[in-house]
């Protein structure tokens, strides 16, 4: 079929162009996009502000090097700190890289405190990426199998279970950090109990651990605020971003606050491409557009609108277990594996994702309006009803 390594079981469709929440394939057939490149295309497709920024930037500079100062990277870091309250930013190219930076920070932090084998608490059902350290941190055997030996220095606890962390703290003196997603995305759109992050913040303060939030999926407006932690009323020590940050252009970031923000010294970490002018121009345009158009608020409203609309249409339908959302991260948990729904959706002109075997996950662009959301609700509820009845 192709010269590509066989890393993805791809759907048999090739998209030729897009506009807003819509995509068109090579035959001219139209699709409503409720995947958004897996939470990447925050501004939808072919957004004029992003296209203009990329065009302008590419006409002056695409890449220089981190051997020199990069104005757009400095501007982006300042903007991210202003929006988040964090102190310092390392710019990279992906979520896995951002988490690698966080893991390295935790280890430096530990060594600085005299901990010889610094250990990070990670969660069951978590997802942090595909590099060796991040797949080790990931709580999914399918992601790890075949790649042993894994990286040392991680211990795992159930998600949304602070007591399990307290117990580990009793007998493990090597813990230096907790790495956790504020809402688990790949794991099945799991939203923890209110207070989960606050309790972990208190525990980290009491023990001198870093609270490191993987906001690669939840960040940049997705859950209805710039960052999910802002709804929990806490500040993390470290936060990672990627996915939506560049509106589709590859970019990631590791943000740190306080002591954690001063750990890296020249030579400790780096990236050839990280934070180049083109990627930073894309990220700045994405953030400015989200801000100007009130897209965090929109994500919150449209996300709730989609969940309540689906709940209405699917009321009493046997096989639908749970509907949940954090802004425009929407999960519909069914009582059976439902990967087949992706193909059925494609045939009906709607792009959806299934994760954790039995959870339909919606991650539409943050620009989705009520009319488009209504179409999504109608298409998807019909699709789910037919699937469950078959
Ligand atoms: C997607 C994702 C990653 C990995 O990001 P890549 O850019 O694919 O490396 C890490 N953490 C979370 C929470 C994600 O959703």
> CB under 8 Å to 9, separation ≥6 — which residues?
none
Residue 28 Cα to ligand 1 midpoint, Å, equals: 31
Give the mutation target among 37, 93, 97, 128 for probing the ligand 1 site: most ligand atoms within 8 A of CB.
128
pTM: predicted TM-score of the whole model, two decimal places = 0.98
Is 186 touching ligand 1 by the criterion CB < 6 Å?
A: yes
Residue 363 CA to residue 10 CA, distance in Å, equals 18
Phi, psi of 293 (to 5 degrees): -95, 10
Looking at the CA of residue 38, tell me the nearest atom of ligand 1: 1
Cβ–Cβ under 8 Å, residues 284 and 244: no
Tell me the CATH architecture of domain 49-292: 3-Layer(aba) Sandwich (3.40)
Alpha carbon nearest to ligand 1 atom 5, residue: 95
Ordered by start, the domain boundaries in the chain are 15-33+294-389, 49-292
Is 217 touching ligand 1 by the criterion CB < 6 Å?
A: yes
State whether CATH 3.30.10.20 applies to domain 15-33+294-389: no
Q: Which residues pair with 133 in a beta bridge?
A: none
Cβ–Cβ under 8 Å, residues 220 and 50: no
How do 154-157 and 119-123 pair as beta strands? parallel
Mind listing the pLDDT tens digit of every residue in the chain (390 residues)? 689 999 999 999 999 999 999 999 999 999 999 999 999 999 999 999 999 999 999 999 999 999 999 999 999 999 999 999 999 999 999 999 999 999 999 999 999 999 999 999 999 999 999 999 999 999 999 999 999 999 999 999 999 999 999 999 999 999 999 999 999 999 999 999 999 999 999 999 999 999 999 999 999 999 999 999 999 999 999 999 999 999 999 999 999 999 999 999 999 999 999 999 999 999 999 999 999 999 999 999 999 999 999 999 999 999 999 999 999 999 999 999 999 999 999 999 999 999 999 999 999 999 999 999 999 999 999 999 999 998
Residue 252 Cα to ligand 1 midpoint, Å, equals: 10
Q: Is the peptide bond before 301 cis (omega within 30 degrees of 0)?
A: no
Cβ–Cβ under 8 Å, residues 330 and 362: yes
Is 215 touching ligand 1 by the criterion CB < 6 Å?
A: no
Give the mutation target among 42, 126, 216 for probing the ligand 1 site: most ligand atoms within 8 A of CB.
216
């Amino acid at each position: 079929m192709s010269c590509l390594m066989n890393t993805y079981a791809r759907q048999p469709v090739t998209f030729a162009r897009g506009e807003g929440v819509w995509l068109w394939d090579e035959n001219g057939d139209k699709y409503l996009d409720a995947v958004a490149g897996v939470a990447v295309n925050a501004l939808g497709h072919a957004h004029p502000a992003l296209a203009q920024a990329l065009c302008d930037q590419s006409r002056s500079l695409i890449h220089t090097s981190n051997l020199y100062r990069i104005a757009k990277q400095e501007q982006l870091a300042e903007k991210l700190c202003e929006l988040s309250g964090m102190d310092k930013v390392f710019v990279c190219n992906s979520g896995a890289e951002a988490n690698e930076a966080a893991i390295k920070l935790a280890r430096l932090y530990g060594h600085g405190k005299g901990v010889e084998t610094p250990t990070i608490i990670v969660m069951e059902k978590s997802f942090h990426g595909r590099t060796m350290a991040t797949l080790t941190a990931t709580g999914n055997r399918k992601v790890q199998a075949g790649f042993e030996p894994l990286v040392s220095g991680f211990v795992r606890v159930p998600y949304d279970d602070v007591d399990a962390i307290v117990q580990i703290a009793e007998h493990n003196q090597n813990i230096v950090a907790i790495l956790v997603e504020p809402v688990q995305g790949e794991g099945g759109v799991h939203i923890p109990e209110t207070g989960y992050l606050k309790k972990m913040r208190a525990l980290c303060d009491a023990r001198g651990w870093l609270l490191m939030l993987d906001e690669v999926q939840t960040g940049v407006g997705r859950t209805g605020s710039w960052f999910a932690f802002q709804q929990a009323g806490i500040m993390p020590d470290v936060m990672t971003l990627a996915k939506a940050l560049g509106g589709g252009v590859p970019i990631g970031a590791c943000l740190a606050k306080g002591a954690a923000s001063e750990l890296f010294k020249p030579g400790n970490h780096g990236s050839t491409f990280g934070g180049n002018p083109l990627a930073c121009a894309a990220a700045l345009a994405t953030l400015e557009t989200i801000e100007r158009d009130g897209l965090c608020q929109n994500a919150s409203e449209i996300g709730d609108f989609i969940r309540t609309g689906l709940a209405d249409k699917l009321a009493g339908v046997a096989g639908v277990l749970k509907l949940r959302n954090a802004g425009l991260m929407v999960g519909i948990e069914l009582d059976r594996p439902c990967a087949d729904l992706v193909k059925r959706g494609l045939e009906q002109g709607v792009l959806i994702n299934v994760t954790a075997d039995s959870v339909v996950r919606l991650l539409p662009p943050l620009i989705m309006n009520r009319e488009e959301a209504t179409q999504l609700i109608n298409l998807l509820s019909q699709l789910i009803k037919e699937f469950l009845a078959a």
